[in-house]
Homo-oligomer: A and B are copies of this chain.
Amino acid sequence: MQTALARSTEATIEVCGLDLCDEIMGHVPLSGVAFLELSGRLPTESELRLIDAMLVSLVEHGLTPSALAARLTYHGAPESLQAAVAAGLSGLGSVFVGTIEGSARLVQEALRDDDGTADLAQLADELVARSRAERRFIPGVGHPLHKSGDPRAARLFAIARDAGLYGRHAELMELVGAAAAVHYGRKLPVNVTGAIGSLASELGFPWQVCRGLGVMSRAIGLVGHLAEELRTPLAGEIVDYAAPVRPTAV
């Protein structure tokens, strides 16, 4: 069996054809290695700036369901920090974070045969109308807290523009947000997962792996939560809130 990702001898390790010690460590930052893993090549300077900002934007979001699940798992199995991170990641599905996949799929499928001349505003309007007719949820727009606009999305699109990487996938995504506002009669601006899904599409990542960007980021943030849980535990308080009579589990 062969993987193109790595090859090792007794004295050397190659990752995607580069010497890990001589050409990667100390030369390519972590986000660049993430890009290398996904694309098989190093990012350009602009691509690196963009993917780094994308990954950074999702690391930390406070006491999300995912962070709570990780902390509760750590509470029962502190000797297996990796299992607590795994538990936290398991919830990054269709409702939270995994929506990166949905928004990437939306714009990639819509632009699959695009030759650069499609009317994006019209396309966005059709996508939203169809979603609404089929009572499907539009991935990547709206946010329960950031109702007037997700500041991370705005920042990511700005960085993409500045890096010369804001293309038709990103534009379509923003137009979908605008069309959604019209169809639903309330503000539904692109949120951080919509921005990441569409910008990942600009970077050439297939939609099937795009939620992986959120998984990478959140793995880092979950370790942060467990480090805090070690210092100042919160899990017991959640348990007490849920089952004030005290748990019967042993």
- CB within 8 Å of B: which residues of A? 1, 3-13, 15-16, 20-22, 24-26, 28-31, 33-34, 37-38, 49, 52-53, 55-57, 59-69, 72-99, 101, 143-152, 154-156, 159, 191-193, 205-206, 208-209, 211-213, 215-217, 219-221, 223-228, 230, 232, 234-235, 237-239, 241-243, 245-250
Contacts and interface: CB of A to CB of B under 8 A. Distances in A.
A13 to B, nearest CB: 6
Contact of A62 (B82, B101, B208, B247): B247
A29 to B, nearest CB: 5
A226 B212 contact: yes
The quantity of this chain's copies bound in the complex is 4
Nearest to A15: B60
Interface of chain A, helix or strand or loop or mixed? Answer: helix
Contacts of A238: 1, 65, 68, 238, 241-242
Contacts of A59: 15, 30, 33-34, 37
Most B CB within 10 A of own CB, among A84, A99, A247:
A247
Given A73-B65, A77-B91, A94-B77, A155 B220 contact: no
A89 B78 contact: no
A80 B79 contact: yes
A69 B68 CA distance: 7
B226 A8 contact: no
A59 to B, nearest CB: 5
A15 to B, nearest CB: 5
B34 A31 contact: no
A151 to B, nearest CB: 5
B82 A98 contact: yes
21 contacts: A1-B242, A3-B225, A8-B145, A10-B145, A12-B151, A20-B60, A30-B56, A30-B217, A33-B60, A37-B59, A61-B248, A63-B243, A65-B72, A68-B239, A76-B92, A77-B82, A77-B95, A82-B83, A82-B91, A83-B91, A85-B212
Given A1-B241, A10-B147, A79-B80, A85 B247 contact: no
Given A30-B52, A72-B65, A192 B77 contact: no
